[in-house]
């Protein structure tokens, strides 16, 4: 289960198959493998060895994609980081990972300068992908162009050797580095390629960031099978629709905000997207109205995945959508799931509790953090921090994050329930409901919304419309906060805490 062997296999047996399309660059498996070999040999010549950590602080680009495979060949450990990181968050993650080499861009490197003295790096341990010469840092391509394109020496990689560290937090406080082994990524390849009904002829499009774990749900399977992978530099609806039609894309994955934007595009229907066999929703619950609209436009192609980077998933298969439309599916084969109360006791169907699970993609733990690893994994079961219930058939219905639950007047309120009401308003494209302090109720509900252009709906109108439709007094909104766009992380996920912060600051302004 050496991930580094995947690319050489296809370079030998499928050399002329298109492997990667990124912008105007198209590489066959033979060409991709040669390029990856150059990078691997350049990194090895610099002194990197098996187990060393290589951080990538890059946007979507060919270099980032190739680094994943080059690092795997060496038995080194890839550490993808958000190029939006700054200051303490950037310093914390680089130092926590014991970074031996950092690959980034010249524009991002300017943010290294103020914190460089606090990093455990030398200047020649930073390579820039877009600068041949730099007064401080090395050039990625200067190293690459000097290196051989032959296979690097065998690194004696084993299934339980570390493949990557994915960071889930760290902007403030101590970051959590989630460790995945070669065995776990091999399971991603085999398990998800089977579930998504992929073949070696598939064409997979990814338009979100490939530094977050959700990207591995499709990138690992397509490379395992030797299909074609298309990488967009960023999400753009026009480019998404055009690429699906021109390249015959069969599988794609989008987060809910991207799905909402795609459904607003006039050409996201009919012959323009007829090649799609799968559109996978991940990253956050997708509102029911969007699920139904996708299924209307592309019958039998909608999948939804609920999961944690730490290593548990459920999948709503395309064949289950009609009978379980509000569900996020069931655990795949070799996975187990329970719903438990605060004392860890199993709850019967229909009762809300914490989702706990186990399976073959479970993390090896948090890097250098045994205490938080023990808190997350108890007796082999991963505790998600998410709330949900199962029906009599064992299908999971997601309720909300424990930390997002609102207590108003002593009653537990799940934001998702209110969001499903708000999103039904014809002028609302996106919604995020959260609690704010309230003297009478403890917490009161606020709905932040992004409107569909060119809507001129007002906050008070939306508030009245929603409050006329909720079924209890404690479900009524205190306010509606209209925003031009929601703040998001590099993966496209909505940052609800940042929305709440902005709302509270706006309320304090005279």
Q: What is the pLDDT of residues 397-456, one digit of tens each?
A: 998 777 788 878 677 788 888 998 999 999 999 999 999 988 777 889 999 999 998 888
Quote the percentage of the chain above a pLDDT of 90.
77
3-state secondary structure 300-323: CCEEEEEEECCCEEEEECCCCCCC
Q: For residue 72, which phi and psi values (nearest 5 degrees)? A: -60, -40
117 and 148 housed in the same domain: yes
486 and 371 housed in the same domain: no
Domain count, the chain: 3
The predicted pLDDT at position 406 comes to 86
The predicted pLDDT at position 488 comes to 86
- What pLDDT band is residue 169 in, cutting at 50, 70 and 90? low
What the block records as the tokens of 32 is 């991709």
pTM for the model: 0.87
**Do residues 491 and 234 make contact, with C-beta atoms less than 8 angstroms apart?**
no
In a domain, 198, yes or no: no
137 and 276 housed in the same domain: no
The predicted pLDDT at position 183 comes to 98
In a domain, 193, yes or no: no
> Which range marks the domain in which residue 255 is found?
235-394
The predicted pLDDT at position 170 comes to 42
- What pLDDT band is residue 340 in, cutting at 50, 70 and 90? very high
**How high is the mean pLDDT of the chain?**
92
410 and 373 housed in the same domain: no
Residue 130's domain is classified under what CATH number? 3.40.50.980
- The yes-or-no verdict on residue 172 having pLDDT over 70 is no
**Closest-CA residue to 449 (of 478, 469, 465, 427):** 427
State the Cα–Cα distance between residues 362 and 365, nearest whole angstrom. 8
86 and 177 housed in the same domain: yes
| 224 contact partners, CB below 8 Å, separation of at least 6 | 6, 189, 190, 193
431 and 373 housed in the same domain: no
**Do residues 258 and 492 make contact, with C-beta atoms less than 8 angstroms apart?**
yes
Antiparallel, parallel or unpaired: β 162-167 and 177-181: antiparallel
Rounded to a whole number of angstroms, the CA Rg of the chain reads 23
- The yes-or-no verdict on residue 294 having pLDDT over 50 is yes
272 and 415 housed in the same domain: no
Domain boundary among 347, 374, 394: 394
In a domain, 223, yes or no: no
**Closest-CA residue to 62 (of 52, 70, 54, 72):** 70
Q: What is the pLDDT of residues 174-194, one digit of tens each?
A: 779 999 999 999 999 999 999
335 and 243 housed in the same domain: yes
Residue 482's domain is classified under what CATH number? 3.30.300.30
In a domain, 269, yes or no: yes
């Amino acid at each position: 289960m050496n991930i580094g062997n995947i690319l050489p296999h296809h370079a030998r047996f499928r050399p002329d198959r298109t492997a990667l399309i990124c912008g105007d660059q198209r590489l066959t498996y033979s060409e991709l493998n040669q390029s990856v070999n150059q990078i691997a040999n350049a990194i090895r010549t610099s002194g990197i060895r098996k187990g060393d950590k290589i951080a990538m602080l890059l946007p979507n680009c060919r270099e980032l994609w190739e680094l994943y495979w080059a690092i795997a060949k060496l038995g080194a450990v890839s550490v993808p980081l958000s190029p939006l990181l700054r200051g303490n968050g950037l310093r914390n993650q680089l130092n926590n990972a014991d970074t031996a080499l950092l690959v980034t861009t010249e524009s991002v490197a300017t943010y290294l300068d103020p914190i460089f003295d606090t990093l455990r790096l030398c200047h020649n341990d930073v390579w820039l992908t877009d600068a041949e010469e730099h007064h401080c840092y090395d050039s990625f391509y200067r190293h690459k162009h000097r290196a051989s394109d032959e296979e690097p020496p065998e690194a004696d990689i084993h299934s339980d050797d570390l493949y990557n560290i994915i960071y889930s937090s760290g902007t403030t406080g101590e970051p959590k580095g989630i460790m995945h082994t070669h065995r776990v990524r091999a399971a991603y390849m085999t398990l998800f390629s089977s579930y998504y009904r992929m073949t070696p002829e598939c064409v997979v499009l990814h338009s979100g960031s490939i530094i977050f774990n959700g990207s591995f749900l499709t990138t690992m399977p397509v490379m395992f099978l030797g299909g074609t992978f298309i990488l967009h530099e960023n999400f753009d609806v026009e480019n998404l629709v055009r690429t699906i039609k021109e390249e015959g894309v069969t599988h794609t994955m989008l987060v809910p905000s991207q799905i909402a934007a795609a459904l607003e595009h006039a050409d996201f229907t009919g012959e323009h997207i007829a090649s799609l066999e799968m559109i996978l929703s991940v990253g956050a619950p997708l509102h029911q109205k969007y699920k139904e609209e996708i299924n209307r436009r592309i019958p039998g192609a909608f999948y939804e995945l609920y999961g944690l980077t730490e290593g548990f998933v459920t999948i709503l298969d395309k064949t289950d959508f009609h009978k379980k439309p509000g569900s996020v599916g069931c655990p795949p084969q070799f996975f187990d799931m329970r719903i438990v109360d605060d004392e860890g006791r199993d709850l019967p169907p229909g009762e809300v509790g914490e989702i706990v699970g186990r399976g073959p993609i479970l993390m090896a733990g948090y890097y250098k953090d045994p205490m938080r690893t023990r808190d997350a994994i108890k007796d082999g079961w991963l505790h998600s921090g998410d709330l949900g219930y199962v029906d009599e058939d064992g299908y999971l219905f997601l309720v909300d994050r424990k930390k997002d639950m609102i207590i108003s007047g002593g009653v537990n309120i799940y934001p998702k329930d209110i969001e499903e009401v708000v999103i039904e308003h014809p002028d609302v494209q996106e919604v995020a409901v959260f609690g704010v302090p309230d003297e009478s109720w403890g917490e009161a509900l606020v709905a932040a919304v992004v409107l569909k252009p060119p809507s001129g709906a007002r906050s008070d109108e939306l508030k009245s419309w929603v409050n006329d439709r909720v079924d209890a007094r404690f479900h009524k909104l205190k306010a509606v906060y209209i925003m031009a766009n929601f703040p998001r992380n590099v993966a496209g996920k909505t940052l609800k805490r940042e929305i709440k912060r902005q709302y509270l600051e706006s309320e304090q302004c005279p």
